[in-house]
């Protein structure tokens, strides 16, 4: 009897997180979209240069970072699920694991940058490297901001702020973290792999 009422087939549609964070995410996506379009535009007139220098990028590091970010997103999604189930210990634990994945990303990226900068590559080396450094650096800064947000969420979660009664802030932060992940999933094939 109760199961019939509990498992309502179509739960009411609602926007997870705050409307404002979605505006913010859309603005961020738009900024990156313009950057990606500029990349395509520049590549069209420098195809050989782009193909040549793309070979010098560390695709394994890129792939590893893709894995790290997707795993991080999975943990953060688990954290939101835990909140809806009022499983409070799991909220904070999953946020922390998500944060670790972000930190792993930064370390891998750090090694990658060290190799490139060590080889004397800079924003002014050529157009391909200009885009490689700019795009990955802007994304890097977004990972960093995402981790700051996860830290705040973690502190709040430890205080027991989130649960089925209140998940707005958690969902907003999680949505931002997924955006960081989404951007990388476009950026990695575009800059490292596609030719």
Partner 1 sequence: MQFKSQAVAKPYFIAAIGLFVGQILFGLIIGLQYVIGDFLFPAIPFNVARMVHTNLLIVWLLFGFMGGAYYMIPEEAETELFSPKLALAMFWIFLVAGAATIVGYLAVPYATLAKLTGNGILETMGREFLEQPLPTKLGIVVVALAFLFNITLTVLKGKKTSISMVLLVGLWGLAVFFLFSFYNPVNVVVDKFFWWWTVHLWVEGVWELILGAFLAFVLIKTTGVDREVIEKWLYVIVTLTLITGIIGTGHHYYWIGTPEYWQWWGSIFSALEPIPFFAMTVFAFNMVNRRRREHPNKAAVLWALGTGVMAFLGAGVWGFLHTLAPVNYYTHGTQITAAHGHMAFYGAYAMVVLMMISYAMPILRGRAANSGKAQVLEMWSFWLMTTAIVFITLFLTAAGILQVWLQRASDTPLPFMAAQEKIALFYWMREWTGVVFLIGLIIYIASFFVGGKEEKAA
For residue 50, what are its two tokens? 């782009």
Task: Give the whole-angstrom CA distance, residue 189 versus residue 62.
Answer: 9
Phi, psi of 163 (to 5 degrees): 180, -170
By C-beta, is 75 or 132 nearer to partner 1?
A: 132
Of the pair 38, 47, the CB lying nearest partner 1 is at 38
Asked if residue 35 binds partner 1 (CB under 8 A), the reply is yes
Residues 129-148 that bind partner 1 (CB under 8 A): 130-131, 134
Distances (CA, A) of 60 to 32, 108, 189: 23, 10, 12
Six-digit token string for 109: 């990226």
Number of chain positions touching partner 1 (CB under 8 A): 17
Beta pairing partners, 163: 166
Residue 23 binds partner 1, judged by CB under 8 A: yes
Reduce the DSSP state of residue 82 to 3 states and report it.
helix
User: Residues 154, 74, 134, CA angle at the centre, nearest 5°?
Assistant: 85
Smallest distance from partner 1 to CB 172, Å: 12
Tell the smallest beta-carbon distance from residue 173 to partner 1 (Å): 15
DSSP E strands: which ranges in the chain?
A: none
Does position 31 interact with partner 1 (CB under 8 A)? The reply is: yes
Q: Which two tokens stand for residue 192?
A: 């490292």
Distance CA 14, CA 46 (A): 45
Query: Nearest distance from residue 2's CB to partner 1, in Å?
Result: 37
User: Cα(153)–Cα(159) distance, rounded to whole angstroms?
Assistant: 10
Least separation in angstroms between CB 14 and partner 1 = 17
Binding residue for partner 1, selected from 1, 4, 6, 19, defined by CB under 8 A? 19
Q: At its nearest, how many Å lie between partner 1 and the CB of residue 64?
A: 27
Query: With the C-alpha atoms ordered 119, 123, 128, 132, is the resulting torsion angle positive or negative?
Result: positive
Going residue by residue from 84 to 123, which x/- string records binding to partner 1, judged by CB under 8 A? ---------------------------------------x
The least CB distance from residue 185 to partner 1, in Å, is 21
Residues that bind partner 1 (CB under 8 A): 19-20, 23-24, 27-28, 30-31, 34-35, 38, 42, 123-124, 130-131, 134
């Amino acid at each position: 009897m109760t199961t019939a009422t509990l498992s309502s087939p179509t739960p009411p549609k609602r926007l997870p997180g705050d409307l404002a964070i979605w505006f913010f995410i859309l603005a961020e996506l738009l900024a990156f979209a313009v950057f990606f379009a500029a990349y395509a535009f520049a590549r069209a007139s420098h195809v050989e240069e782009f193909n040549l220098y793309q070979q010098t990028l560390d695709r394994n590091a890129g792939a590893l970072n893709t894995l790290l970010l997707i795993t991080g997103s999975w943990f953060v999604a688990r954290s939101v699920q835990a909140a809806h189930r009022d499983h409070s210990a799991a909220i904070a634990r999953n946020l922390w694991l998500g944060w670790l994945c972000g930190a792993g990303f930064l370390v891998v990226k750090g090694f990658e940058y060290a190799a490139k900068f060590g080889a004397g590559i800079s924003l002014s080396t050529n157009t391909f490297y200009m885009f490689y450094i700019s795009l990955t650096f802007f994304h890097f800064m977004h990972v960093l901001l995402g981790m700051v947000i996860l830290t705040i969420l973690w502190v709040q979660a430890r205080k027991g702020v989130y649960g089925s009664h209140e998940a707005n802030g958690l969902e907003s932060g999680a949505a931002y973290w997924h955006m960081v992940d989404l951007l990388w999933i476009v950026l990695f094939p575009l800059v490292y792999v596609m030719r």
